[in-house]
Structure 1
Amino acid sequence: MRTKLVSDLCLFLKRQPVIAAVVHGLALRNGLLISSIFLCNNVIHAYVAQPNFLLARRLFDDIPHRNFASFSIMISGLAKADQIREAASFFINLRRSRDEEDDHDCASIIVAHAGLIKGCGRMGDFRTGVQLHCSSFKLGLEFDSFLATALMDLYRKCGEIEECKKVFDGSPHRRDSVIWTTLISAYLKNSKGEAFALFNKMVAVGVWPTGLTFSTMAKSLDEPCKLSQAKQLHVWMTKMGIIPDEILALGLVTMYGKCGGVDELARLSGLGDPGDILLSTSLMMGFLKNGFSLVGIQVFREMIRQAALPDGHAMAAAIGAFSDQKLLRLGEEAHGYSLRRDLISNSSVGVALIKLYSEFGLVQKAKAVFMVKVEEEACFTAILSCYMKNGILEEALGMLKHRINGGWRPDAVTATVAVTACAALAATSAGEQVHSLTIKLGYCDYLSLENSLITMYGKCGDLASAEEIFGSIESTDDISWNSMIDCYAHHGFGREAIVLFYKMQVEGFKPDDYTFLGVLTGCSHAGLVEEAREFFKKMKAVYQVEPKAEHWACMVDLLGRAGRLEEAFGLAATVGEGSSSPLMWQALLGACSIHGDIKLGSLAMEKLTEMKREKYVDGLVVLSNISAAVGAWEGKAAALAAMRQHGLRKDPAISWVEINGRIYAFSPNDQSHPELFCIYWKLEELRGRLEEMGYVAETQVVHHDTSREEREVSLLRHSEKLALAFVLVATAESKRPIKIMQNLRCCVDCHTVMKLVSKIEGRLIIFRDSKRFHTFEDGNCSCGDY
């Protein structure tokens, strides 16, 4: 009766270890614990499984006649909980007990020893592991296969592959597939090629691989170039008659997903249960990674239909697929499902939803998701990118400043996105703050961040700081060189861009299409026609870089601005027929605007309309301006009528400046600024001083059929002039450079005024329009009036 009760209690404990304390109390009341070491060990095992080492230790100490299994259970449990010191202490006591007892349990010694070694492996405690290896020799256990496997696993996790190989070579159990699998797993961490060769050797010597071996090997095949090896492995498995279990099926699906074996993925799709969340998620991820988004979505929908509950990882992947396929309604349904199942708390799901709504321009919905995840760094990065993508730069900057003022400590990725946002808005102050923060946090060697800082300082007009960052990078990459070349190009320093082009090759970097675009842009802004021709010829002939539409457009722009409109038209006509990009015709239309050529401008506009399949708003604006410039008011009326007919509107000019970390924006004829009286007073004062220097307003740039006096007033109230006057009033005592940004091209009259004001006020003026920088100093401009 007592024996049956002990047996029933032990069986009950194995099924329900959480009620160990109840069984413990019941056994004490019936006097069973003292008489049954078997029951005591089962209760200790249940306590260890919870884990509750305090009660386990109390019971262990109360046992009057402990055996080796008692020690083994405590050692294995403590080792699994990474309490190595306590486990080692028990092991020492176990060895003493072994010396004192004649009737010892060798199996318990081995299990305890192996458990302690595995714990050292998890903790990366190489030193203790080596000591235990030595003790295995003293105990005469060095030839045990179970212990050898534990030692190999220890050395594998500590990165000691040679030691792992020595244990393997010294083991007499080299016909054991487990030992071979452990060695293969060790090589996978450092040399995947050798791991595959080792697998072939294992088969060659007649050791039969198990499902675990194939599952381990599948992890090494994770690139498209290894698809043939993946198929070979699968063939071996089939020939050996190994039927995939859940783990092996998951390994095969993951392997083919990473190797690009879409056909094999399709065949494996019926291998497991659609309700298996891990297998279905891996299958979906495989299709999505290889560009089969719709198939991946179908797998996801089948998961839902089978009542398999996707985790955050699967949900984030599905939402990403909905975004790629422009399936907003499904994305919103996934949002609702995530809320119901509390998956929204998963950072990956939050990021995916923000990106989804960003793709559709639904900024407020993206912001609502972010407000739930406001503390998550990844979500902050996503919302910052969302604001930038949708042109809400001021709000992005405000959020960034609020974060900085709150003691923000970003990771390197978020800091890079923040720097990019500052570059887009030319927010120098915020950019410098983020830069200082990254230095304090030790991100100085993060290359992507350094490259973004080059671009940021370049777009903020601080070319010297961009050069300093570039010069400080210890190990540049091609993006570093391209970023610096682009900075020179947009500041009009074409020759400096060319020098850097040759220098990067000396340093061992090969120019790509971005490099050539930067050099050609620099040549275009500096009027280096012949140099640009030479580079354009060398692109394909010497560097094997195929010119893209952007490169052709750059050449058309260069020729057009140099007055060679017919040649520019011929170049655009030659390439434009086979290109879907309207960039060349846009460039030609801009050149026609400069030189007042209505005929070619009209032809360019026709080509633009054909290519875009719709009326091109910027093109109509330019055509309207060309017509007005030469007095062809009927042509202007026709262009404006076409705009009204298609519901198109011209983008208004916006100029902005940053003073004491705050952005001030201006539009033409602005009446909303609180300092409006001072601004207009300053403009009138400047006009008088400019006229004394011989300035005459270039009223031909005002494309309205009005009197000269009205045109002069309109010119005086251009947004860039208002911004200039405001800075002069707000910083009257300062001699710091004036930085003005604008979303459109600078007009000829504003360019002339800024040159003269730089001489009158003795201030350096840095002006960035939609295409390039102009640096005005002492009455001259860096563009050379080109």
Structure 2
Amino acid sequence: MKQGLKSLGERARRPLVFDQNVKITQLGKLGRVEEAAKVFDRMPQHNTVSYNSMISAYAKNGRVSDARHLFDKIPSRNLVSWNTMIAGYLHNERVDKACELFDKMPHRDVFTWTLMITCYTRNGELEKARELFDLLPDRKNRACWNAMISGYVKKGRFEDARKLFDEMGDRDLVSWNSMLAGYTRNGKMCLGLRFFEEMGERDVVSWNVMVDGYVEVGDLDSAWQFFQRIPNPNIVSQVTMLCGFSRNGRIQDARRVFDQITNKNVVSWNAMLAAYVQSYQIDEAVRLFTQMPEKNAVSWTTMINGYVRVRKLNEANKLLDSMPYNNVGAQTAMISGYVQSERMDEARQIFNKIGTRDVVCWNTMIAGYTHCRRMDEALHLFRQMLQKNIVSWNTMIYGYAQAGRMDEARKIFEEMGEKNIVSWNTLISGFTQNGLYVDALGSFSLMAKDGKKPDQSTFVSGLSSCANLAALQVGKQLHQIVMKSGYTNDLFVSNALISVYAKCGRMLSARYVFNDVDSVDVISWNSLISGYAFNGYGEEAVKLLQEMTVKAITPDQVTFVGVLSACSHAGLIDQGLNLFRSMNEEFCIEPLPEHYACMVDLLGRAGRLEEAFKLVREMKIEANAGIWGALLSACRIHRNLELGCVAAEKLSKLEPCKTSNYVLLSNLHAEAGRWDEVESMRTLMREGGAEKQPGCSWIEDKNQLHVFLSDDGVQPQLPDISDTLNNLTAQMKTCSFMPETLHDYV
């Protein structure tokens, strides 16, 4: 009797367990993993299906650690359990963990083999995929053949794919479509069309693959022609065409396709909603959103993103609060909106409310703090993260680099495990931007030892460092690597090369690189003009400006800084004045402080100090340290104490701690025999906290950069260097090449 009641109870519970398993699966698909976990925890008993459903829910929502923890707790695993966990790892791109589990499996089925082969092919590891494929116990399994073919075509290895396809004895439509998709996804539409026409049998997938291929290459006319020829288009066909139109800004065409869909599902509604959001038609998006018969997490997230895009953050937050369930994607969209507006405290409030955060949520919050230079808070969150991905590490390196804290950036870089090209580029560009050029070049060398190939960004940072160090030989070596790597046609790299040769005084080489660029831009011209100016070729710089205008290249503010500087150094007074006037009259460019500084320097070198002072007084903008510094230098050269004192007074307010300003004025007083004022200047320097900064210089010898600091007491060759310097100083004084007051600088 008792046994019969027990059996009856078990049969009564089975439908309940089945319903709960289905509910867990559905909630997992909707991204409502917390609710799924609650259903799982409340179940009076679990079967293997319950465990598998919950593992899948965790894995599909990025909680792969929770999935593995549950997998390890299963009292009796079946083959589906193993496959579900492997699929979870692959879904989260944890190929190493998937392989580790694959090796431990007591038994494997066709699905397992297909999973692993697909995993390797998606990861681009075709040789490993082929090794598994050749070990297949069942060579007749079409799924593995199709996975292998798909892997080859995705990597552009069409000959290998076609050879395998031809060897395949029993092809199905999946085989044909896999081969076709390989062509179309790689933009080989001519080959794809030819293959499509060879197909003995086609289904709606074949047609959809062709439509999608044309959409991806931007050929909407061909896509539309194919779409109209589909015998029985399905919802995928319609959504593909709808997305193609919306992506290219053809919203009315997209709406026309949407209105023709008879049985609209939530995917089609979401596609049209996204189209309105992407085109900033937020009112239409709101109207459509209110009409939707069914909304899922994607619908809510898309709509919140729409409000964020048009900076309506209050409306976005209200919508988030009205969501019937919590969703990390929607909450992250809201955080992103606050981050973009630098409203970090409000972003943090949303972040703190999220129960289970995925890596995207963490990274969004950390990126916000780094953008606002709040690195301590970014680091605090970063250290709390249990699952960091490479984006997390790179974001922290970037944040410290932007804040000028390169020691911390280097520390984070050294802590991380696997580094990608972005990691190296972020570190190298950080060193370059913060003036640590030797460190940048050192990291460039270490990157090669790590087996990473430099790209456009790496070369630009490395070459910029060479330019700033005037390291010609290292720059030449990088030029050779650029040519071997195939980046000679890259405009950014070419501009950096022009700058290297120009700053190293090799103007012929700079011009050669310039002439070799297929389509130069204004930066290319500016780099060459600045090079001529820097090296004293004033007339050549002016000629380049004229050449620019003949070729219809509009000069910008940087162009005129270079040209005016060239006129100043070459003594081209009249040309400089004419060019300065033409800036506004001909090119509608308002002068910046840098342009006025060039003009003050130009007039000052010519001894026209009153004219230079008048220009400064009549400026429409406030004079900066560069302008007053140029005037003070000119007063020092021409011994105009009165104007020099005016300029020095202005400079002392703008740069109270800069030693060179006090030295210049002190020298002026010394030349006038006003020794009390000289002593007063020195007293002001001491009381004002102006201290001489150690001079720094470097020299390139045998491809090595040697850096020297003037106060470096541990330099082994310091006595020899001092003796040589004193001898040279004595010789220069004897030959009248040195003013008497230069001893103040030495």
Normalising by structure 1, what TM-score?
A: 0.69
Contact 1:180 1:202 in 2 (8 A): yes
Q: Describe the shift of the 1:674–1:510 C-alpha distance in structure 2 as closer, same or farther (beyond 3 A).
A: same
1:640 counterpart (659, 682, 697): 682
1:319 and 2:361 aligned: no
Q: Describe the shift of the 1:689–1:126 C-alpha distance in structure 2 as closer, same or farther (beyond 3 A).
A: closer
Q: Describe the shift of the 1:80–1:212 C-alpha distance in structure 2 as closer, same or farther (beyond 3 A).
A: farther
Contact 1:426 1:459 in 2 (8 A): yes
Aligned counterparts of 1:618 and 1:208: Cα–Cα separation in 2: 78
Aligned counterparts of 2:657 and 2:663: Cα–Cα separation in 1: 11
1:540 counterpart (580, 584, 605): 584
Aligned counterparts of 1:151 and 1:60: Cα–Cα separation in 2: 30
Q: Deviations over 1:743-768 (max 9, x none)?
A: xxxxxxxxxxxxxxxxxxxxxxxxxx
Partner of 1:516: 560
Q: CA deviation at 1:593?
A: 2.4
SS at match of 1:647: coil
Say what the alpha-carbon RMSD is for the aligned residues. 4.7
Aligned counterparts of 1:508 and 1:232: Cα–Cα separation in 2: 42
Aligned counterparts of 1:638 and 1:630: Cα–Cα separation in 2: 14
Higher mean displacement: 589-598 or 212-221: 212-221
Q: Describe the shift of the 1:154–1:355 C-alpha distance in structure 2 as closer, same or farther (beyond 3 A).
A: closer
Q: Describe the shift of the 1:428–1:85 C-alpha distance in structure 2 as closer, same or farther (beyond 3 A).
A: closer
1:180 counterpart (235, 238, 248): 238
1:217-366 to structure 2, matched below 5 A, reads 217=272, 226-227=279-280, 230-238=281-289, 240-242=291-293, 244-255=295-306, 257=308, 265-270=316-321, 272=323, 276-289=327-340, 292-295=341-344, 298-311=346-359, 313-338=360-385, 341-343=386-388, 346-366=389-409
Output the amino acid matched with 1:637.
E
Q: Which runs of 5+ in 1 are unaligned?
A: 25-42, 62-69, 96-108, 704-714, 719-786
Q: CA deviation at 1:537?
A: 1.3
Partner of 1:585: 628
Q: Describe the shift of the 1:55–1:628 C-alpha distance in structure 2 as closer, same or farther (beyond 3 A).
A: closer
Q: CA deviation at 1:153?
A: 3.8
Contact 1:82 1:122 in 2 (8 A): no
SS at match of 1:546: coil
Q: Describe the shift of the 1:650–1:470 C-alpha distance in structure 2 as closer, same or farther (beyond 3 A).
A: same
Aligned counterparts of 2:166 and 2:713: Cα–Cα separation in 1: 82
1:630 and 2:678 aligned: no
Partner of 1:529: 573
Q: Describe the shift of the 1:301–1:643 C-alpha distance in structure 2 as closer, same or farther (beyond 3 A).
A: farther
1:19 and 2:78 aligned: yes
Q: Describe the shift of the 1:691–1:149 C-alpha distance in structure 2 as closer, same or farther (beyond 3 A).
A: closer
Q: Describe the shift of the 1:59–1:464 C-alpha distance in structure 2 as closer, same or farther (beyond 3 A).
A: closer
Percent identical: 24
Normalising by structure 2, what TM-score?
A: 0.72
1:594 and 2:637 aligned: yes
Partner of 2:211: 152
Q: CA deviation at 1:177?
A: 5.5
Contact 2:339 2:347 in 1 (8 A): no
Output the amino acid matched with 2:645.
S
Higher mean displacement: 636-645 or 270-279: 270-279
1:202 counterpart (252, 257, 263): 257
Partner of 2:704: 662
Q: Describe the shift of the 1:160–1:568 C-alpha distance in structure 2 as closer, same or farther (beyond 3 A).
A: closer
Q: Deviations over 1:267-306 (max 9, x none)?
A: 54436589533333333334444xx1224x6325522442
Q: Describe the shift of the 1:200–1:386 C-alpha distance in structure 2 as closer, same or farther (beyond 3 A).
A: closer
Q: Describe the shift of the 1:687–1:448 C-alpha distance in structure 2 as closer, same or farther (beyond 3 A).
A: closer
1:167 and 2:226 aligned: yes
1:431 and 2:475 aligned: yes
Q: Describe the shift of the 1:554–1:323 C-alpha distance in structure 2 as closer, same or farther (beyond 3 A).
A: farther
Aligned counterparts of 2:110 and 2:450: Cα–Cα separation in 1: 50
Contact 2:277 2:285 in 1 (8 A): no
Q: CA deviation at 1:413?
A: 1.0
Partner of 2:69: none
Q: CA deviation at 1:655?
A: 3.4
Contact 2:258 2:272 in 1 (8 A): no
Q: Deviations over 1:571-619 (max 9, x none)?
A: 222227x43744322222222222232322222233334556x555543
Contact 1:280 1:300 in 2 (8 A): no
Q: CA deviation at 1:222?
A: 8.1
Contact 2:536 2:569 in 1 (8 A): yes
Output the amino acid matched with 1:589.
L
1:72-151 to structure 2, matched below 5 A, reads 149=208
Output the amino acid matched with 1:327.
R
Q: CA deviation at 1:316?
A: 4.3
Aligned counterparts of 1:193 and 1:299: Cα–Cα separation in 2: 31
Aligned counterparts of 1:502 and 1:220: Cα–Cα separation in 2: 47
SS at match of 1:545: coil
Aligned counterparts of 1:397 and 1:148: Cα–Cα separation in 2: 52
Q: CA deviation at 1:498?
A: 1.0
Output the amino acid matched with 1:165.
W
Partner of 1:738: none
Q: Deviations over 1:674-732 (max 9, x none)?
A: 4456556656776787688x5465213334xxxxxxxxxxx8xx4xxxxxxxxxxxxxx
SS at match of 1:511: coil
Q: Deviations over 1:433-485 (max 9, x none)?
A: 22211111111111111101111222222222212211211111111011111
Q: Describe the shift of the 1:359–1:504 C-alpha distance in structure 2 as closer, same or farther (beyond 3 A).
A: same
Q: Describe the shift of the 1:309–1:494 C-alpha distance in structure 2 as closer, same or farther (beyond 3 A).
A: same
Q: Describe the shift of the 1:685–1:125 C-alpha distance in structure 2 as closer, same or farther (beyond 3 A).
A: closer
Query: Who wins on radius of gyration, i.e. which is larger?
Result: 1
Output the amino acid matched with 2:688.
H
Q: CA deviation at 1:501?
A: 0.8
Aligned counterparts of 2:192 and 2:450: Cα–Cα separation in 1: 46
Output the amino acid matched with 1:550.
E
1:702 and 2:743 aligned: yes
SS at match of 1:430: helix
Higher mean displacement: 647-656 or 150-159: 150-159
Aligned counterparts of 2:227 and 2:413: Cα–Cα separation in 1: 53
Partner of 1:479: 523
Q: CA deviation at 1:503?
A: 1.0
Aligned counterparts of 2:321 and 2:573: Cα–Cα separation in 1: 63
Partner of 1:379: 423
1:193 and 2:244 aligned: no
SS at match of 1:575: coil
SS at match of 2:401: helix
Output the amino acid matched with 1:322.
Y
Contact 1:450 1:469 in 2 (8 A): yes
Aligned counterparts of 1:509 and 1:683: Cα–Cα separation in 2: 47
Q: Describe the shift of the 1:54–1:594 C-alpha distance in structure 2 as closer, same or farther (beyond 3 A).
A: closer
Q: Deviations over 1:18-52 (max 9, x none)?
A: 8347999xxxxxxxxxxxxxxxxxx9896688569
Output the amino acid matched with 1:294.
R
Aligned counterparts of 1:660 and 1:232: Cα–Cα separation in 2: 66
Aligned counterparts of 1:670 and 1:46: Cα–Cα separation in 2: 68
Contact 1:366 1:383 in 2 (8 A): yes
Partner of 2:458: 414
Q: Describe the shift of the 1:348–1:595 C-alpha distance in structure 2 as closer, same or farther (beyond 3 A).
A: farther
SS at match of 2:384: helix
Output the amino acid matched with 1:199.
A
Q: CA deviation at 1:569?
A: 1.7
Q: Describe the shift of the 1:302–1:323 C-alpha distance in structure 2 as closer, same or farther (beyond 3 A).
A: same
- Equivalent residue pairs, number: 638
Output the amino acid matched with 1:607.
K
Aligned counterparts of 1:94 and 1:669: Cα–Cα separation in 2: 78
Output the amino acid matched with 2:256.
K
SS at match of 1:663: strand
Q: Describe the shift of the 1:661–1:410 C-alpha distance in structure 2 as closer, same or farther (beyond 3 A).
A: same
SS at match of 2:690: coil
